[in-house]
């Protein structure tokens, strides 16, 4: 059985003081959660968030990781730095990184290998743009992102994939649950063909893109959907908790 995982992606929101406040509000609301709960916070919030989540079931995530151990990479943060703070998860290849910061399948692959080497659990994002969707290229794009992004990966135990159609991120538009399930099914099948049935069966694949309290239950009811990567709705404790507690 795959344990569902609901992860908040705070993006570039919340100062350290605001992070502490949000976590304090969130803790009591998710303490009985059935899914795994993760918050992926800005680098400058990591230490304060780590302290704030102490003794709770909330896990700490970052939003990127450098592919090198250390050195002349201005602006980058290494896996060792993240590990020392107590980071467990790391988002890699988010579409905003791909769109605004030149992230490619190749750089995603490098970061992914580094995360795995250093014992961080990667949440790797894939997804098509509206243009690609309208041109009926969704599966082709996903195939490329998965085969190149996960090149030379042999062990998927600690990996989570987040399927995030770019047109659904922050737009209020959600893929229908059936649609998301079907596309995630395509990804799972591709993993099965490439890495084997066991890997595909155990791999957790989240949906992301305008997931909110009102649609979480329907999305989570889908056979292939094992969780969510939540942007906007993770910035309010009540909304994020309502998604985490979608079953209640
Ligand atoms: P959203 O963002 O929930 O605000 O659409 C999701 C994401 O980008 O991870």
What pLDDT score does 28 carry? 98
Is-catalytic flag, 164? yes
Q: How confident is the model at residue 170 (pLDDT cuts 50, 70, 90)?
A: confident
Q: Is the CB of 49 under 6 A from ligand 1?
A: no
Q: Pull the structure tokens for residue 77.
A: 């943060």
What pLDDT score does 182 carry? 97
Q: Pull the structure tokens for residue 150.
A: 């996960």
Cα separation, 90 vs 150, in Å, equals 15
What pLDDT score does 156 carry? 98
What pLDDT score does 1 carry? 83
Over the stretch 9-37, which tens digit does the pLDDT of each residue have? 999 999 999 999 999 999 999 999 999 99
Over the stretch 145-155, which tens digit does the pLDDT of each residue have? 999 999 999 99
Cα separation, 222 vs 136, in Å, equals 23
Over the stretch 36-71, which tens digit does the pLDDT of each residue have? 999 999 999 999 999 999 999 999 999 999 999 999
Q: Is the CB of 206 under 6 A from ligand 1?
A: no
Q: How far is the CA of 169 from the centre of ligand 1 (A)?
A: 5
Over the stretch 180-232, which tens digit does the pLDDT of each residue have? 999 999 999 999 999 999 999 999 999 999 999 999 999 999 999 999 999 99
- Find out whether 103 and 97 touch, Cβ atoms under 8 Å: yes
Q: What residues contact residue 22 under an 8 Å CB cut-off, 6+ apart?
A: 14, 235, 237
Q: How far is the CA of 71 from the centre of ligand 1 (A)?
A: 32
C-alpha distance from residue 158 to each of 113, 118, 136, 155, 215 (Å): 12, 12, 31, 8, 27
Dihedral of alpha carbons 59, 90, 178, 165, sign: positive
Q: Is the CB of 170 under 6 A from ligand 1?
A: yes
Active-site annotation holder among 36, 94, 103, 128: 94
Global pTM reads 0.97
Task: Kindly report the protein residue whose alpha carbon is nearest to atom 2 of ligand 1.
Answer: 231
For 109, list phi and psi in degrees, rounded to 5. -65, -40
- Coil, helix or strand for 38? strand
Q: Which atom of ligand 1 is nearest to the CA of 171?
A: 5
Q: How far is the CA of 189 from the centre of ligand 1 (A)?
A: 24
What pLDDT score does 175 carry? 84
- Find out whether 8 and 238 touch, Cβ atoms under 8 Å: no
Q: Pull the structure tokens for residue 58.
A: 């909330």
Ligand 1 probe mutation, 9, 98, 171, 180, most atoms within 8 A of CB: 9
Average pLDDT over residues 137-142: 98
Q: How far is the CA of 168 from the centre of ligand 1 (A)?
A: 8
- Find out whether 68 and 114 touch, Cβ atoms under 8 Å: yes
Is-catalytic flag, 94? yes
């Amino acid at each position: 059985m795959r344990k569902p995982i609901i992860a908040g992606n705070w993006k570039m929101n919340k100062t350290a003081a605001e992070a502490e406040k949000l976590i304090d509000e969130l803790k009591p609301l998710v303490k009985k959660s059935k899914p795994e709960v993760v918050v992926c916070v800005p680098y400058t919030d990591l230490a304060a968030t780590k302290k704030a989540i102490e003794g709770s079931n909330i896990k700490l995530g970052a939003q990127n990781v450098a592919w090198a151990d250390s050195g002349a990479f201005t602006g980058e943060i290494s896996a060792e730095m993240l590990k020392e703070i107590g980071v467990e998860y790391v988002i890699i290849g988010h579409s905003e990184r791909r769109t605004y910061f030149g992230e490619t399948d190749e750089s995603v692959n490098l970061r992914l290998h580094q995360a795995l080497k250093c014992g961080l659990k990667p949440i790797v994002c894939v997804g098509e743009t509206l243009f690609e969707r309208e041109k009926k290229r969704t599966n082709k794009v996903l195939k490329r992102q998965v085969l190149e992004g996960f090149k030379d990966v042999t062990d998927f135990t600690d990996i989570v994939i987040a399927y995030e159609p770019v047109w659904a991120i922050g737009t209020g538009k959600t893929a229908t649950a059936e649609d998301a399930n079907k596309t995630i099914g395509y990804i799972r099948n591709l993993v099965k063909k490439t890495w084997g049935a066991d890997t595909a069966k155990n791999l957790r694949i989240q949906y992301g893109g305008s997931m909110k309290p009102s649609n979480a239950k329907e999305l989570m009811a889908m056979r292939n959907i094992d969780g969510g990567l939540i942007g906007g709705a993770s910035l309010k404790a009540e909304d994020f908790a309502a998604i985490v507690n979608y079953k209640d």
